[in-house]
Structure 1
Amino acid sequence: MGSERQDLMKALGVRLRGLRTEAGLTGAVLAQRAGVGQPTVSKVETGRMVPSADVLGRLSNALGLDASTAQEVRDLLVAVEAAPHVAETHIGAALDTVVRSARLVRSFQCVVLPAMLQSAEYARYVFGSAPDATPEGVGHAVADRVERQSLLYEPGRESVFVLTEGVLRTWPGSPALMLAQLDRLLAVESLSTVRLGVIPWRQVVPVMPRHGFTLCDTEAVVVETFRGEHVLDDPTAVAAYEDTFRRFEEAAIFGSDVRELLLQVMKDFRGLDGPATQ
């Protein structure tokens, strides 16, 4: 990350922290009032995360800022976004930024588990396989991904995930890693804010899957490729992806059927002797 951008991020964070202190609020109270996760407040205030305009607006409203002060922090955000930076140091930044500001997230995946559902070890394999990945970059990306998953528990948010059964059976590392990952899916599936669907192998797919994608509200779609992530906000493109997601969703099983399938896949992994060999 360029030093100018980093300095501006820190300046924005220091200013927001000072305003929170002046308001006599803790980070937890501010997060609750703004409808964001407490880790989000912490990372913004310490200059480790650039808030979206929506998140900054919520923080400003929760702090009760007057018009001039609210404009001051907006100007700081504009300066941060305009400053040069090196994208490689934050793998997954596009998806991270767009998802944080969305109230409805819908994700379809045909090979890799959705980012919001990945365990830390699973995510480490995902990021480690990216072109030009570095240990430092992977470490930061994994930490950010795990922290972002706190959004799953926030009231007022809804997350819908649709996977093919192949995702559950495409595994890195070892059977033990996948058993832990599948156990996490069982836990997440029980959340009232989450719907988890799987298209079983016996079901004909309505559209031949080509890649994974994540819809954020009705404003944007993040398309994931081997070389990175691409954010599309053209209304025609977003509408086409919404229609495609709906067709995948209609072909998926949910609820008790999904739990039964997950338990069966876990049983299959327990029957494996050890890690896969190349």
Structure 2
Amino acid sequence: MAPRTQPTERQRRIGAELRKLRLAAGLSGDQAAALIDADRQRVSHIESGRVDVPRNGLYNLLRSYGCAEGPLFEALMAMANNRGKGWWDEYRDVMRRPALDLAELESRASRIRNHELLVVPGMLQTADYARAVCETFDGPDADIDRYVQFRMGRQRILEQRPGTPYHAVIQEGALRTRVGSPEIMRRQLRRLIEIARLPHVTLQVFPFEAGPYSGVSRSFSIYSGPTPALDTVRLEQPVASVVLHDEEQTSKYAKLFAKLSELALPPVDPEAKPESHEGRDSLTFIQHLMYAS
């Protein structure tokens, strides 16, 4: 089988982890090739995600690289067995590879932490709000319905039972920026309160008054894997997103998110009675914006 030209993020991640383990074990590409009865070029293709490694071959590589059976070993074996098929496949005609990779990454995550700077996170958007956002994209108007359907499809990981634990820290500016009509904004703010009722969703607002902080200058998401070694950070950029795998970098972003959460207003608690709000929290903040819009 010819090497694929556009490996998925999952395929690239498996290859990157194998390369990291091989180098840590002090083995050359030729030595790795001998372990799976292949040539050095095939090992290179495997490490770039361009070809798959058979289950037996992967098992031999992991054992030979000194990866003991445990969370990382089992997770890599599971990732290799998972062919990446999912609901997102039906959108290949309109969505680019990074968007499809994002949906697959979200579906695999054991926990998602999201800091959003400019707009309400896609995972929390109403269909009308999502449509207003998608109308700003370059592309055929006929595709907008499909874009919106895709974005709504991503939300199923929150709606299923049990849902994926999700924690969002949203900058005040994202909630004040009008997207669509005032009524669309009111419904979107109401949606934030409603979805925060889910036991696995934590929602916080980072107000202007909290002051400047290094983390507020960029939107990012952290997708937890079955082991910290497989955590992924996705940085939003104007042209293309950047994906980080290095454990030291993902750890830094985890600490950054923890600090943002500490500085943000207390989480939305829709079940709390009005008299229990001794100070401003995320719920009262969103309610104020909803009634003022």
Could you report, residue by residue, the CA deviation over 1:102-154 in whole angstroms, capped at 9, with x for unpaired residues?
12000001111111001112112223323x33324432221111122121133
> Take 1:178 and 1:90, find their aligned partners in 2: how far apart are those partners?
26
Aligned partner of 2:287 among 246, 263, 266? 263
Match of 2:95 among 84, 90, 93: 90
> Is 1:205–1:251's contact at 8 Å kept on the other side of the alignment?
no
Q: 1:178 to 1:156 in 2, by over 3 A?
A: closer
Is the Cα contact below 8 Å between 2:166 and 2:201 reproduced in 1?
A: yes
User: Is 1:237 aligned to 2:260, yes or no?
Assistant: no
1:220 counterpart residue number:
232
> Deviations for 1:179-212, whole angstroms, at most 9, x for unmatched residues?
0101100101111010001112221243252221
Task: Decide whether aligned partners of structure 1 residues 196 and 181 sit closer, same or farther in structure 2, where only a CA change above 3 A counts.
Answer: same
Deviates more, 1:200-209 or 1:106-115: 200-209
Is contact 1:214–1:223 with CA below 8 Å preserved after alignment? yes
Displacement after TM superposition at 1:239 (Å): 1.6
Match of 1:181 in 2: 188
Distance in 2 between residues matched to 1:244 and 1:229, nearest whole Å: 19
Instruction: State TM-score, norm by structure 2.
Output: 0.59
Change (3 A) 1:117 1:75: closer
CA contact (8 A) 1:222 1:229 kept: yes
Give the equivalent residue in structure 2 for 1:51.
none
- Which deviates more, 221-230 or 110-119? 221-230
In structure 1, runs of 5+ residues without a counterpart are 6-70, 81-85, 270-278
Higher relative contact order (CA closer than 8 Å, sequence separation 6+): 1
SS in 1 for 2:255: helix
CA 1:179–1:237: 2 relative to 1, 3 Å = same
The TM-score with structure 1 as length reference comes to: 0.62
CA distance in 2, matches of 1:214, 1:255: 20
**Once structures 1 and 2 are overlaid, which stretch shifts more, 222-231 or 169-178?**
222-231
Q: How does 1:117-136 map to 2 (within 5 A)?
A: 117-130=124-137, 132-136=138-142
2:154 corresponds in structure 1 to 148
Q: Quick check: 2:157–2:163 contact (8 Å CA) kept in 1?
A: no
Which structure is larger by alpha-carbon Rg, 1 or 2?
2
Alpha-carbon spacing, 1:213–1:87, altered in 2? closer, same or farther (3 Å): farther
- Identity, % of aligned positions: 27
Q: Which moved more, 1:188-197 or 1:136-145?
A: 136-145
RMSD over equivalenced CA pairs, Å: 2.9
Distance in 1 between the 2:106 and 2:203 partners? 17
Q: Distance in 2 between matches of 1:121 and 1:179?
A: 11
Residue pair 2:193, 2:268 contacting (<8 A) in 1 also:
no
Superposition pairs of residues 38-187 of structure 1, within 5 angstroms:
77=83, 89-91=94-96, 92-130=99-137, 132-153=138-159, 154-155=161-162, 157-187=164-194
Preserved contact between residue 206 and residue 251 of structure 1 (Cα < 8 Å): no
Q: CA deviation at 1:267?
A: 1.4
Contact 2:172 2:208 in 1 (8 A): yes
Note if contact 2:218-2:235 (Cα within 8 Å) is conserved in structure 1.
Answer: yes
Provide structure 2 residue ranges, at least 5 long, that are not aligned to the other structure: 6-76, 86-90, 270-280
Q: Distance in 2 between matches of 1:116 and 1:158?
A: 12
Q: Identify the match of residue 264 of structure 2 among 252, 256, 259.
A: 252
Amino acid at match of 1:159: Y
Q: Take 1:177 and 1:128, find their aligned partners in 2: how far apart are those partners?
A: 14
**1:93, CA displacement in angstroms?**
2.5
